[in-house]
Structure 1
Amino acid sequence: MQERKALYLKTALLTDVPWNVLAGCDQYARNINALKAEKTNNKQLISITFKKRVWAGPLNPDLNDEDPKTIALFGGVGKDGNGDGRASLQSPEDRLYTFAEQIAQAGPGEENNRIGLWNIYKRGKAVDLIEDFAQLFENAKPADLDQHAFPVPINYNYDYASTWGAKRGWGGNRIHEGTDIFADYGTPVRATAYGIIELIGWNKYGGWRIGIRDLHGNYHYFAHLNGYAPGIHHNIITKPGQVIGYVGSSGYGPKGTMGKFPPHLHYGLYRDNGHAEYSVDPYPLLRIWERQANTH
């Protein structure tokens, strides 16, 4: 991570694009590569890459061209980022510099950075995720970003089973996109990861709920809460184990509806593959985090 950060900082000085924005873009690429099982890309210093045709130019007869002049002549994007006179697709410095220059074309400043990112990704969700990752890189220690916690304290009474995919009837036929952790009213609910509170407030299905986005693009969803912990609000950074709310039975109706089912925490986990967000079964991870909590 230190080597990557050094490259982010160097490129930021050359292009005026903030280092944490570049780190967020690289993390976005890293997350998508991981979901595609592109392990070789994940081992690279920089995960951002380009298709050969885009890098060298759409009409370039040599897709391995590394001459910045002929690449530009044929409309390619590849640039020399390390000063060796070549624009090599194999060079992490060249790739990151080229990418940063594309963002910088929109102009300096936060709003122009958003415009530059939109011009590249053409996806609002991608821009939002990158901004979340940028905040995490700026405010959290690298060693802390991969830590996790079980969503309720293990010294409280609770019980849960694998319920992902089960049928639900309220509000129309749908499947259960999470695991229900049954516990007493007021049992503390804890953040499961370092992340940004992306959503907070009322939902007719989930009642009082919180959604947290972590560095790997996972969206941690906590629903049916009885209330929120002090200081918990939109866009703050949470830490694993931090109390964010309390178990309740809110939801299945208009704002304030309570008591239509026994008190429990609905915990859901969603991932983003660069095109759409989808639900995954959180039960295996809950078991891992529970075991880890029991060993500490």
Structure 2
Amino acid sequence: MRKTVLFLTLAALLITFLPESRSAAAERFTKEDVDRLSLYKKMESVTLIPWHYFAGVDQYERSVRKARRDLPARKGLVGIYFSPIQWSGPINPTMDDTNPERISMFGGIGKDGNNDGIADRNNDEDILFTFAEIIQKHGHDIENFRIGLWSYYQRDKAVDIIMENAKIYETYGTVALDKHSFIVPLRSNYSYRSTWGDRRGFGGLRIHEGTDIFADYGVPVKAVSYGIVEVKGWNRFGGWRIGVRDINNVYHYYAHLGSFNKAIEKGTIVEPGMVLGYVGSTGYGPPGTSGKFPPHLHFGMYRDNGYTEWAFDPYPYLKAWERQERISSRRR
């Protein structure tokens, strides 16, 4: 009973102190959301690294674990993974060592983050503290934080995604950002079906990596989730298009737009339901080419696994978001 009261109190406080400029109060807070935010803020007080940077790193690692089969499922709240060799040291005879002094002696990275005298590879506080120690070797300001991330991941894209995540979390003041929206207004005249894998001929034989939503010219195209605009402009195949990376490290590709929402630029943080642009028929040629096919939106989704990115079928997700929005609209 006391745990339930504490959880509800924390949830209420989280909602109360969200930034006024961007509110995610409509999101449902789970116990895990509350526990994660509490953990990140606790580690901020210990390491002086802002909580949203911990959240950005951890969310990236969570998404990578979800996309790969060679990594074990996480056991706690934190998605960051250290192998036994990394943690305990390459020549340590005890691969799951928890003794901080012995770990250090054998060249391991594991640290005691909660002052219990144990460096536990499966303890959330120890994991985050260890990660902070690695990153802060390069300095304590934001630029050196980026350098530390690059030194650890050796991948520019990983650094960019983490910093984008952190920016989103800082903006909304919460990790409860799981809401979605359907991609066009339900009241508009639209239709779509599964066209994943269909053949396409323009620019060479290829398969269709997405779903086409046919609608009238000018129908608003909405962001389906929380994310940040990575790309905006012309693409020979996609015409006027926008690329948004969501908080789960999935890249959303909105193509063949007739025009953009003028408020949307590269780096803009978007949320479910925000208008990105309007349905058109642009593409298949140089900038400005239009009318080679009926007006529609091409929507693609691409998952990143820490090494590369690949397309997957967005149709089931569109159907789920459409269904959820219809149910929500009936309740209003």
**Equivalent residue in structure 2 for 1:123, among 148, 155, 171:** 155
How far apart are the structure 2 equivalents of 1:208 and 1:90?
A: 46
Q: CA deviation at 1:43?
A: 5.2
Q: CA deviation at 1:83?
A: 0.8
1:5 aligns with 2:37: yes
How far apart are the structure 2 equivalents of 1:47 and 1:144?
A: 16
Q: CA deviation at 1:97?
A: 0.1
**Equivalent residue in structure 1 for 2:191, among 132, 148, 159:** 159
Q: Give the 3 Å change call, closer, same or farther, for CA 66–43 of structure 1 in structure 2.
A: closer
**Equivalent residue in structure 1 for 2:60, among 7, 19, 28:** 28
CA RMSD of aligned residues (A): 1.7
**Equivalent residue in structure 1 for 2:119, among 84, 87, 97:** 87
How far apart are the structure 1 equivalents of 2:125 and 2:307?
A: 27
**Equivalent residue in structure 1 for 2:317, among 285, 288, 295:** 285
Aligned to 1:105, the other structure's residue is in SS state helix
**Equivalent residue in structure 1 for 2:283, among 251, 271, 274:** 251
1:51 aligns with 2:83: yes
How far apart are the structure 2 equivalents of 1:267 and 1:42?
A: 31
Deviates more, 1:85-94 or 1:34-43: 34-43
Amino acid across the alignment from 2:114: N
CA contact (8 A) 2:75 2:122 kept: no
How far apart are the structure 1 equivalents of 2:176 and 2:135?
A: 29
Divergent runs of 4+, >3 A: 36-43, 141-144
**Equivalent residue in structure 1 for 2:97, among 59, 65, 69:** 65
1:273 aligns with 2:297: no
Q: CA deviation at 1:143?
A: 7.0
1:17 aligns with 2:49: yes
For 1:94-109, what aligned pairs fall within 5 Å after superposition? 94-109=126-141
1:232 aligns with 2:264: yes
Match of 2:109 in 1: 77
Measured against aligned partners, the alpha-carbon deviations of 1:66-94 in whole angstroms (never above 9, x if no partner) come to: 22112111111011111112212122111
**Equivalent residue in structure 1 for 2:244, among 196, 212, 215:** 212
Q: Give the 3 Å change call, closer, same or farther, for CA 243–144 of structure 1 in structure 2.
A: farther
CA contact (8 A) 1:195 1:213 kept: yes
Q: CA deviation at 1:28?
A: 1.2
How far apart are the structure 2 equivalents of 1:50 and 1:87?
A: 12
How far apart are the structure 2 equivalents of 1:70 and 1:170?
A: 61
Match of 2:14 in 1: none
How far apart are the structure 2 equivalents of 1:294 and 1:56?
A: 52
Which consecutive residues of structure 2, in runs of 5 or more, have no partner in the other structure?
1-32
Amino acid across the alignment from 2:61: A
How far apart are the structure 1 equivalents of 2:34 and 2:325?
A: 29
Q: Give the 3 Å change call, closer, same or farther, for CA 288–247 of structure 1 in structure 2.
A: same
Which consecutive residues of structure 1, in runs of 5 or more, have no partner in the other structure?
none
How far apart are the structure 1 equivalents of 2:323 and 2:80?
A: 35
Aligned to 1:265, the other structure's residue is in SS state strand
How far apart are the structure 1 equivalents of 2:268 and 2:74?
A: 28
Q: CA deviation at 1:59?
A: 1.0
CA contact (8 A) 1:224 1:264 kept: yes
Q: CA deviation at 1:36?
A: 3.7
Q: Give the 3 Å change call, closer, same or farther, for CA 244–17 of structure 1 in structure 2.
A: same
Deviates more, 1:18-27 or 1:36-45: 36-45
1:172 aligns with 2:204: yes
How far apart are the structure 1 equivalents of 2:74 and 2:207?
A: 33
Q: CA deviation at 1:42?
A: 4.2
CA contact (8 A) 1:270 1:277 kept: yes
Q: Give the 3 Å change call, closer, same or farther, for CA 99–134 of structure 1 in structure 2.
A: same
Compute the TM-score of the two structures, normalised by the length of structure 2.
Answer: 0.85
Quick one: percent identity of the two aligned structures? Answer: 52
CA contact (8 A) 1:17 1:103 kept: no
